[in-house]
Structure 1
Amino acid sequence: MSTSRWTFLSNHTHVLVCLARDPDATMRDVAEQVGITERAVQRIVGDLETAGYLSRRRAGRRNAYSLRADRPLRHPLEAGTDVRTLLSVLDPGVGPDAD
């Protein structure tokens, strides 16, 4: 029996789901939920921002994130599927309302 721990979804997807559920989540909160370091979350959030999937705004001393749910997924196998559709499968309470 294998002791390796793997999942079907990437950490980028996990971070995206966390921020879709709670746009005001801290990097620490997201890191704990995903099971990665805060630094890894910061790098992933940067990737998602650069690619146009997230935008960041200041909310007092913290950041809040807006999701661009209309953006298409990046891999050719998912061509024609957008973030909203993915989120609606992973978390039905989040997907339809995402912007």
Structure 2
Amino acid sequence: MDDSAPSRPRWTFLTNHARVLAAIAQNPGIRVRDIAARCLLTERAVQKIIADLEADGYLTHTRNGRSNRYQIPVGTPLRHPADAGPTVADLLAVLSFQRQDGRPESR
């Protein structure tokens, strides 16, 4: 057995849906290929996640030539009953790494 291969974590703090939504929030014109690379997912998985988000009202898109432009209705509430209160906008604010003074965190 090769112990040098990196192991994958058994669980993570963010779902793939949250990662895809955050990538789109940061760049509404982002390509599926670029989302997949950024989120370490397949393009097919990203397409499925985008379809899920659109079907449940968390995302819309418009065609612009050969590309899509995404819109996120930020007032939409989070799905789980335990998350009642915060909206998608609140989640995206946290995921954008805003500092307490409102300025973006440098990376």
Question: Shorter-chain TM-score category?
Answer: 0.7 to 0.9
2:72 aligned with 1:67: yes
Structure 2 SS opposite 1:23: coil
Aligned residue in 2 for 1:4: 8
Aligned residue in 1 for 2:84: 79
2:22 aligned with 1:17: yes
For 1:65 and 1:37, how far apart are their aligned partners in 2? 19
For 2:66 and 2:94, how far apart are their aligned partners in 1? 33
Runs of 4+ in 1 over 4 A off after TM superposition: none
Q: Shift of residue 4 of structure 1?
A: 3.5
Q: Percent identity?
A: 47
Structure 2 residue runs without a partner (length 5+): 1-6, 103-107
For 2:74 and 2:30, how far apart are their aligned partners in 1? 18
TM-score by structure 1 length? Answer: 0.87
Q: Shift of residue 22 of structure 1?
A: 0.4
Relative contact order higher in (CA < 8 Å, ≥ 6 apart): 1
Report which of the two structures shows the higher radius of gyration computed on alpha carbons: 2
Q: 1:51 aligns with which of 53, 56, 66?
A: 56
TM-score by structure 2 length? Answer: 0.81
When the two structures are aligned, how many residues end up with a matched partner?
Answer: 92
